[in-house]
Each structure stands twice: as C-alpha cells, then as structure tokens.
Amino acid sequence: MPLEDHVVAEIRTALLEFGVIFFRNQPITGDQQLDIAAKFGEIDKPHPVFDNDARDPRLTIIESRGRAHDSEHYWHTDVTYQEAPSMGSILAAKKIPDSGGDTLFASMYAAYDSLSSPIRKMCEELTAQHSFERGWATTYRMFEDGEDTLHKMRKVFPLMTHPVLRTHPETGRTSLYVNEYYTSRINELSEAESEAMLKLLHHHAQLPDFQIRHTWQTDDIAFWDNRCTQHYASHDYGIAHRLMNRVTLVGDKPYFNNP
C-alpha cells in the first residue's frame, strides 16, 4: 500500500528531528523501496563502487560474506567527495548474521554543539578537501586492474572542498562536517596543523556520547539524514552472510551560514 501524504510528512518530521529513524518488521520488495524513497526526493544515480540491482541499478546491493576487499568499515558521511553529497538513504535488511553486523549512527549536531567555543570559532573559517581515493583506494587496489580503474575514478571524482561546518538546509542547525573516510586535509592549515586538527575533530565526532547503535533484524528499515549524521557498519561477524538493499536520495551542495 502506498504511503499516504500525512504519513510521509510525519516520517520527514521525525527524520529532521532525530537524524535517523528505524522501522521494525517491514518486509518490502526492491520496487516498493524505490517507490517509498521517491516520496522523499529524487533518487540518486547508481553507486560507483557497490553492486547494483540488475533490473533497476538505483537499488544498491550491499553484501558481505567475509570478502577480502571489504574496507568501508570506517565512520563516514556518504559520498562527501561529491559536489552535492546525498540527502539521505533508506536501508532495508534482507539477510542478517546471527550475531554482529550492527550499524552505529552519530549526530553531528551534537558533535558541533559540544565543541568548545574557541574550536567552534576556528572551524567557522575552515574548509576541507574530500577525496574519493582516500576512501576507496584500498578496495580498488585489491583487484587486478584496480590501479587503472582508480586512475579513471580520480577524473570522475576530483578533490572536492566543503566547509568544516555545515548548515542544514531544512532545519538551519549547524553540524560538524568532516569524516575520517573521505576528508583528506583542511585547506587553510599547514599539513601538520591539518593532520592535528582532523585527528581532534574525528576523535570528537566518534565519541559514544553522540551515538546510537542499531541491532538489525531481518526486514528492518533505517532512514538516515546524511546531512547531519555519520555512520559505521560494524564488521564483527566473520564470514557470515549480511545482505542489505539501499536507495539513496539526491542532496545539495553543503554550505555554512555563520550565525
């Protein structure tokens, strides 16, 4: 049954308030997942690395059976190497290990709010580079033609600059907007200063104080706002089978309005 307009409005309100929301016991097909996502925005183009559904490549297949090239287990905000990173994603659990495989989410609103005043003031003036290669080079180099493919991907996704602090386009709130997977350096600082500052900010963003941990059950759905959260997929299930379907929504170019 299609989502009624008032239900879509309630879900959007909850997403904007909490950053991530969860739904238990919601078995849906890939087509239904795409239809639901379309209620909340434009569906993004296929992911450049993950597998995609053969019938509709806008449905991303995230599958693991202890694969050697599994390297995405870092705290991150999705695709910040793009000019307009995704607005959010809807993830449906299809196959879950008997134990492990949780996903952790962290509020970057809370991370920003708890920074000391001098650090906040400094961050207001900073921008950072985000790199596709920083996140995916290890994965590509696992494959025979990986270096050639990586060279091509560098041209598709050149270094991208975003503000270190981001203003949410709907709530107007400020969040911390660097992540250890894709953020390579802070432009306004020396290399040594940048390394030290990013180490401080990454550590701060990953404090348990800002986190929620979701223990998946088959047919769970998670919907997160990629503009104000980070997430981490725990890889603690060995060679067990974990299968998730994801649909991602088109986002906008990050900006910061200094209050």
Give the tokens for residue 98.
């008997």
DSSP-assigned letters across all residues of 120-161: HHHHTT-EEEE-HHHHHHHHHTTSTTHHHHHHHHHHHS--EE
Distance CA 188, CA 37 (A): 38
Distance in angstroms (rounded) separating the CA atoms of residues 197 and 240:
38
E strand or H helix that includes residue 13 = helix 5-18
Catalytic residue positions, numbered = 76, 78, 231, 246
> How far are the Cα atoms of 18, 57, 207 from residue 115, in angstroms, in the given order?
20, 40, 12
Output DSSP code: residue 102: -
